[in-house]
């Protein structure tokens, strides 16, 4: 960072600062809000690379393309990309020696890494893509700076801006080619994926009136687990323990909420409670789940049609296929249509436990969404589900919480058992559990006091994981699996507050 850049942030409130290594390229991140700004700024600095140097390096693009032409048809071939990477490194050295004579070897390596990221990567988007603190990256045309959504801070404006609309189009095309998607005037909208599983949406002008756009929903490399959600105050261990007992006894559940409320993250979090003796089939439109690695898990994904309009695989088709694979547990990324719901209930009625998500704002709104067009399921079908978890994203507070946890009555109506108290920022009990408890007693073959005892035992284990900050998906899943194998031993370890290690089991 040079003196001029440093002076601009001296009068700022700094939230965070950290360094990133982006494919061999060092970047410094500073998140701050100056007095004259209304939103936080996410500033990216490349140590030793001034703006004139960046412009010079970017001007190498046409020279590099002529020196090392790219075959677009082979862009998804890893061996080809490795070969191109080596050839670009050699060509970049020639251009740096010619245009920046006397550059030392350390600086030269950094400049080459910068060039490679620009040529074979997604340019300056590579930095926010490499930042695991971010959830979303938004390119809103070439007339405005790129925006990012930071997990702890919310939306922030970066100090990078696309050079022109063609650059945004080229980046979208590069993403699309690798997964067989096309983006042009006839198909001005595209959904695709990056190699790491991040979701990408791209639109072209004039469909998007601000210019060409790219929106990247980043794939979570460290998925949420139930202890992590409790530490984050998203729910309490009491509710988590009830959910665990429900999953243990194969009671199906829907997770609802608005956009970006954390539905898929919560679905991932409850996966630590799946018994290792169950066969799990997940169905998603884009790969977002990361279950404990020792589970017998078959992830399946939908497929969009090719440019000729053929080859599409729908969520409904995958659900039908999943039923033929002898699953014990089916995870449905999102229920959207009447066919999705019909197959979901069919799966439940044929002896499978099903866990899925739905766009709805509360427990009762979930039932309204399920029983009205376009889904239009008969209300009495709802009692095939045991419970509903409703999530909320509170934008002004920049928090995600379990808004409600409820049970489904025989009539198909919902009863809210726990509800989030805004003032206390915690889940509080709203009603006694009746239908869910009677279902648990039937499935587990125990009486009411024994159900309470099971919930308390599960809570002891969850609280232990919370105290010890055991939040990794495989670590949490391993402890739960050991509980299914030797409950007494795990309970003893939790009550003694032992430190966690795999060797102790």
Among 163, 197, 217, give the residue marking a domain's end: 217
- Report if residue 82 sits inside a domain: yes
Among 194, 217, 240, give the residue marking a domain's end: 217
What DSSP line would sit under 358-402, residue for residue?
A: EE-SSHHHHHHHHHSTTT---GGGGGGS-EEEEEEEETTTTEEEE
Do 34 and 180 have their domain in common?
yes
User: What is d(CA 42, CA 32) in angstroms, rounded to the nearest whole number?
Assistant: 7
CATH number of the domain that residue 40 is part of: 3.30.450.380
pTM for the full model? 0.80
Domain extent at residue 174? 3-217
Q: What is the pLDDT along the chain (505 residues), one digit of tens a residue?
A: 554 555 455 678 999 999 998 877 788 999 999 988 999 999 998 866 666 766 777 677 677 777 877 776 676 677 877 787 788 788 888 888 888 888 888 777 777 877 777 766 787 788 999 999 999 999 999 999 999 999 889 999 999 999 899 989 988 988 887 777 788 888 899 888 887 878 899 999 999 999 999 999 988 777 899 999 999 999 999 999 999 999 999 999 999 999 889 999 999 999 999 999 999 999 988 788 999 999 999 999 888 777 677 888 988 899 999 999 999 999 998 898 998 898 899 899 888 999 999 999 999 999 999 999 999 999 999 999 999 999 999 888 889 999 999 999 999 999 999 999 999 999 999 999 999 999 999 988 889 999 999 999 999 999 999 999 999 999 999 999 999 999 999 999 999 999 999 888 7
The total number of structural domains in the chain stands at 2
User: What is d(CA 405, CA 29) in angstroms, rounded to the nearest whole number?
Assistant: 39
- Report if residue 439 sits inside a domain: yes
Q: Which helix (H) or strand (E) holds 256?
A: strand 253-257
- Report if residue 316 sits inside a domain: yes
User: What is d(CA 168, CA 153) in angstroms, rounded to the nearest whole number?
Assistant: 26
- Report if residue 279 sits inside a domain: yes
List the structure tokens of 353.
């436990």
In 10 A of CB 296, how many CB atoms?
15
Residue 291's alpha-carbon distances to 5, 66, 297, 351, in angstroms, are 43, 45, 8, 22
User: What is d(CA 492, CA 488) in angstroms, rounded to the nearest whole number?
Assistant: 6
User: What is d(CA 108, CA 95) in angstroms, rounded to the nearest whole number?
Assistant: 11
- Report if residue 504 sits inside a domain: no
- Report if residue 322 sits inside a domain: yes
CATH number of the domain that residue 230 is part of: 3.40.50.300
Do 358 and 470 have their domain in common?
yes
Measuring CA to CA, which residue among 459, 468, 461, 450 is closest to residue 488? Answer: 461
Contact 443, 436 (CB under 8 A): no
Among 195, 217, 239, give the residue marking a domain's end: 217
Residue 255 gets which letter from DSSP? E
Phi, psi of 382 (to 5 degrees): -65, -25
- Report if residue 65 sits inside a domain: yes
């Amino acid at each position: 960072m040079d003196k001029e850049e440093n002076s601009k942030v001296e009068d700022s409130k700094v939230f965070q600062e950290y360094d990133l290594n982006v494919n061999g390229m060092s970047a410094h991140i500073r998140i701050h809000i100056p007095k004259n700004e209304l939103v936080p700024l996410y500033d990216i600095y490349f140590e030793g690379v001034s703006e004139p140097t960046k412009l010079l390096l970017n001007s190498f693009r046409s020279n590099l393309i002529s020196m090392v032409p790219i075959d677009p048809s082979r862009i998804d071939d890893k061996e080809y990309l490795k070969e191109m990477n080596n050839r670009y490194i050699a060509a970049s050295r020639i251009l740096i020696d010619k245009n920046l004579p006397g550059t030392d070897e350390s600086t030269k390596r950094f400049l080459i890494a910068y060039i490679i990221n620009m040529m074979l990567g997604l340019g300056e988007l590579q930095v926010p893509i490499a930042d695991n603190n971010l959830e979303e990256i938004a390119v809103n045309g070439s007339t405005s700076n790129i925006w990012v959504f930071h997990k702890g801070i919310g939306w922030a404006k970066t100090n990078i801006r696309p050079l022109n609309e063609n650059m945004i189009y080229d980046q979208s095309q590069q993403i699309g080619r690798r997964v067989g998607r096309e983006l042009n005037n006839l198909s001005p909208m595209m959904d695709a994926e990056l190699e790491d599983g991040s979701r990408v949406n791209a639109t072209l002008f004039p469909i998007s009136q601000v210019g060409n756009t790219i929106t990247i929903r980043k794939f979570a490399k460290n998925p949420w687990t139930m202890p992590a959600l409790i530490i984050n105050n998203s729910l309490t261990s009491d509710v988590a323990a009830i959910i665990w007992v429900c999953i243990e006894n194969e009671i199906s559940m829907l997770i609802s909420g608005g956009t970006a409320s954390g539905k898929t993250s919560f679905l991932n979090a409850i996966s630590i409670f799946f018994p290792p003796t169950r066969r799990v089939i997940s169905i998603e439109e884009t790969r977002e789940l990361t279950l404990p690695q020792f589970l017998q898990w078959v992830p399946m994904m939908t497929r969009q049609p090719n440019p000729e309009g053929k080859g599409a695989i729908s969520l409904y088709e995958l659900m039908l296929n999943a039923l033929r694979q002898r699953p014990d547990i089916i995870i449905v990324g999102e229920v959207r249509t009447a066919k999705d719901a019909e197959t979901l209930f069919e799966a439940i009625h044929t002896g499978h436990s099903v866990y899925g998500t739905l766009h709805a704002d509360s427990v009762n709104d979930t039932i309204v969404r399920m029983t009205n067009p376009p889904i239009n399921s008969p209300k009495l079908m709802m009692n095939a589900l045991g419970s509903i978890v409703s999530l909320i994203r509170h934008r002004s507070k920049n928090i995600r919480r379990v808004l409600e946890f409820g049970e489904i009555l025989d009539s198909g109506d919902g009863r809210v058992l726990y509800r989030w108290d805004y003032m206390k920022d915690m889940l509080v009990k709203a009603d006694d559990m009746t239908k869910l408890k009677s279902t648990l007693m039937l499935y587990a073959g125990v009486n009411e006091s024994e159900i309470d005892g099971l919930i308390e035992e599960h809570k002891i284990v969850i609280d232990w994981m919370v105290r010890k900050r055991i939040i990794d998906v495989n670590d949490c899943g391993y402890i739960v699996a050991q509980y299914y194998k030797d409950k007494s031993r795990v309970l003893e370890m939790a009550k003694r507050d032992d430190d966690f290690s795999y060797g102790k089991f």
